[in-house]
Structure 1
């Protein structure tokens, strides 16, 4: 058997040398595998004694090591003990470089995935509100960059002219960009939302005829739950073209309302009305009085303008406060004999000619009052 191994050869190398190379490769594989296991075990013990997440991430990244990579590394290093032809030795070097490069790219890709997963889980936690678009886009860009660099590095190592390759990719990229410009426009709009943060998930926004709560910000569209219940889906580009009112970030609500009183109200009573209004505003909680003035002489009323602030951003609180103020004013004005004005119109009819006096009795001036219902839109 020993003589047969010495007398027979493959690629000009005796078979016993191939046997030694296989033995060395097997030993190297066992060393690499055990070293990998020991490294993970030691790091796990260290991670249990620390509060940082870096060592946990390092463990998860190392756990992504491919068994095939260890086997290829051991085999290639074992083959280096052989006196291979220069052509085969160069090819083995290329394969070794490709193997290491792909494994490094796998580690980096896994690290980016772990970072994105943990960041998104923190966004979806007990206090959601952050925008996940930035995390999604960044993880996608980083992964494309990692594998692009790995591919170009491998091609350059095997002798491919990557300068011409990159130039051809640039021309092709322009053609693709023109074909999907609408999609790319929405994609960059979502990136702008992630960077500038004009709103976040959970914010109540109003733009155009749409009013609702942001439910999800995607790479192409944003989903909004309107106040009437339906879901509104809007492209990110079209959304950013509008002027957006974000009521979630409102610190306090400024309220302006007016009312008119009858022209028959005495001036002394008119002078007391701002004080009555102030008491009405301050009687409600979550309010801060600003001003109340006799503003103008209206067509059929003496007009007052009142401004106050509500320290709560809840719209229901605002409506409750306004209702209590209105009721307070009605009771106070009734106690002071002040009547609210309403639009009126007076029509004067001339007396009938004497020829018709026998057929018709004389009619005095007729005063017609026209009641106008008002609708207040919030």
Structure 2
């Protein structure tokens, strides 16, 4: 029947949706005030609770937990409809009955299951007393029992006194250490009637997680033969996996190195960093393949896993060192610092120290993963560090010297320095030594320990470069020309744009053995030694040109032989002067005298007397 428009014109589905919406609204209104049900749902029974840990409250409970879980493993393995992964949970629960506190955490899962299966193999051959004879919780409390031993064996269950499992009764670490030897001694014995045969052999030969009693039957007999606790197919698969992994890792590293060499900036190592990251992931994948899928067991898997830890952490240390080094170089490039400058060296040193700290942390973590206590590793590092420090005192002194140079900045690369008997231009400041290019083009490597304690005269930090020299004039040069020469040199200094216009001196400083000595003392404002040499040359050449224009001759370090008389020309002594005239001449050069010129001839004014 066709629906009519109006109040009753809705389709049936629309009416149902409206009804459901109304019910939901009423439910929301009713919910806050709804009473709590008088009888809440019953809790899961403790025996059926899958999260309930195995009972280890007494030797009897621990032994029963081990046997029950492994018998359940055997039942699942016999059922062809059940996947072998279903055996993993009871295997892990059986391993919970063992005290694995002395086994590295990353190895505990493998070793725990193997030891539980070995324990079951031994019990299946030597037998147990009646369960009623094994102490239960009441017997433990009544007799204050702390340990119990299976009769006629060295298999002991003891109470754990400390740690997260304190108070539980577990198979002792000493028992677990002896299990392989005990198993070898009883392996030839027949199984008892209530045994679960073949579990251990099935576990060590089944790939992946869990175990299967039928898996090895599909392989040829020669592949299932055991050597060192592993089947032949496991050895072959492990060898192929390790070989292919080594080839792939080598190819990755070569590819990364070639990618870095193709860069214009060979200091960038992005390709090597990516290759190392890929190698680290490859190692993780190989370890998973060998441990879980190929399922090596026993001492072999322990050795393989520890080897993977050593190789992986070596790769990680290399990767961390490269990453931090490249971080420092990236900061230097981004800030446009001088690659060999003090700031760049300081950045590199800081990141190298971070690398050392990070590598030390990796060593401690890696040692912990292979079973070495962290405290012992740190102690060993401390003792080793002390031995290294004693054996490398000079190296450490040089390192501290480089730190002092970088923080104090006594000189920079390119500075001309004088340090003891050394003089030259600083070419490089390293962590062990400072390289100085001498002025005869050799390179000195001065240890930084010496640099830290030496007196350094940094010629490169001068704001002005001093020029000091002397000029000898001939004694027959008239005094007025000498003064004109001095005045001309003042003009030469002022005319040169590179000279400092104050603090200079041009004076007759001495009457030497060969001539009249003129001292020339002034400063150049130049940035480096090369410019200093050029500007000094320009000033001195101007002085030579000035002397040529004035007719002033330079004296040479020569000796003059004066012949006083010869037979042809006898000596004619100077006419004697009266004493009164000599006294008069001397007085004329004194105060108020006519000949005296105490301020000179007036042709030269000293620079410091000028206004």
Give the aligned partner of residue 304 of structure 1: 518
1:12 is matched with 90
Please tell me whether the aligned partners of residues 294 and 304 of structure 1 are also in contact (alpha carbons under 8 angstroms).
yes
More displaced, 302-311 or 146-155?
Answer: 146-155
Which residue in the other structure is 2:297 paired with?
none
Q: Which deviates further from its counterpart, 162-171 or 248-257? A: 162-171
Query: Secondary structure of the equivalent of 2:571?
Result: coil
CA contact (8 A) 1:207 1:245 kept: yes
Are 1:129 and 1:200, in contact at CA under 8 Å, matched by a contact in 2?
Answer: no
Comparing both chains, which one has the higher relative contact order based on Cα–Cα distances under 8 Å and sequence gaps of 6 or more?
1
The superposition leaves residues 95-131 of structure 1 with CA deviations (integer Å, 9 ceiling, x where unpaired) of 9xx99x97998886564233134256679x8954414
Deviations 1:17-45 (A, max 9, x none): x9899xxxxxxxxxxxxxxxxxxxxxxxx
- 1:218-243 deviation per Cα after TM superposition (whole angstroms, max 9, x unaligned): 33233333333333333332344443
CA separation in 2, counterparts of 1:184 and 1:340? Answer: 58
Say if 1:210 and 1:118 are closer, same or farther in 2 by CA, change over 3 A.
same
Q: d(CA) in 1 for partners of 2:570 and 2:450?
A: 66
Q: Which has a greater percent of strand?
A: 1
Pick closer, same or farther for the CA change 1:323–1:165 going to 2, 3 Å.
Answer: closer
Match for residue 495 of structure 2 among 272, 283, 301: 283
Residues 327/144 of structure 1: CA separation in 2 closer, same or farther (3 Å cut): closer
* Contact 1:296 1:303 survives alignment (8 Å): yes
Q: Which residue of 1 aligns with 2:462?
A: 250
Q: Distance in 2 between matches of 1:289 and 1:182?
A: 49
Maintained 8 Å contact 2:437/2:444: yes
Root mean square deviation, CA, Å: 5.0
CA-CA distance at 1:145 after TM superposition: 0.8
The structure-2 alpha-carbon separation of the partners of 1:151 and 1:119, relative to structure 1 and needing over 3 Å to count, comes to: same
Q: Hey, what does 1:222 align to over in structure 2?
A: 434
2:467 touches 2:524 (CA, 8 Å); kept in 1?
yes
Q: Does 1:294 align with 2:507?
A: yes
CA distance in 2, matches of 1:350, 1:110: 88
Q: Distance in 2 between matches of 1:282 and 1:72?
A: 81
1:244-277 Cα deviation digits (max 9, x unpaired): 3444443331212222434555555444444211
Greater CA radius of gyration, 1 or 2?
A: 2
Query: In the TM superposition, what are the counterparts of 1:69-80 in structure 2 within 5 Å?
Result: none
For 1:142-153, what aligned pairs fall within 5 Å after superposition? 142-152=354-364
Aligned with residue 236 of structure 1, among 440, 443, 448 = 448
SS in 2 for 1:307: strand
After superposition, give the CA deviation of every residue in 1:289-340 in whole Å (9 maximum; x if it has no partner).
3323425342444433332222223444433433333333334334434444
Aligned to 1:199, the other structure's residue is in SS state coil
State the match for 2:382 in structure 1. 170
Asked if 1 retains the 8 angstrom alpha-carbon contact of 2:510 and 2:518, the reply is no
Distance 1:126 1:150, change over 3 A: closer
Q: Distance in 1 between matches of 2:564 and 2:445?
A: 64
State the partner residue of 2:411. Answer: 199
1:364 aligned partner: 571
Deviates more, 1:170-179 or 1:320-329: 320-329
> TM-score scaled to structure 1, two decimals?
0.59
Aligned with 2:500: secondary structure? strand
Q: 1:1-378 to 2 correspondence within 5 Å?
A: 3-4=79-80, 6=82, 9=87, 12-13=90-91, 64=277, 66-67=280-281, 109=321, 111-119=323-331, 128-131=339-342, 133-152=345-364, 162-163=374-375, 165-263=377-475, 265=477, 267-290=479-502, 291-300=504-513, 301-342=515-556, 363-364=570-571
Tell me the number of residue pairs that the alignment of Structure 1 and Structure 2 aligns.
302
The 3-state SS of whatever aligns with 2:440 is coil
Q: Tell me the secondary structure at the aligned position of residue 287 of structure 1.
A: coil
SS at match of 2:468: strand
Q: Distance in 1 between matches of 2:208 and 2:388?
A: 53
Contact 2:325/2:348 (<8 A) preserved: no
Distance in 2, matches of 1:260 and 1:7, equals 111
Secondary structure at the counterpart of residue 507 of structure 2: strand
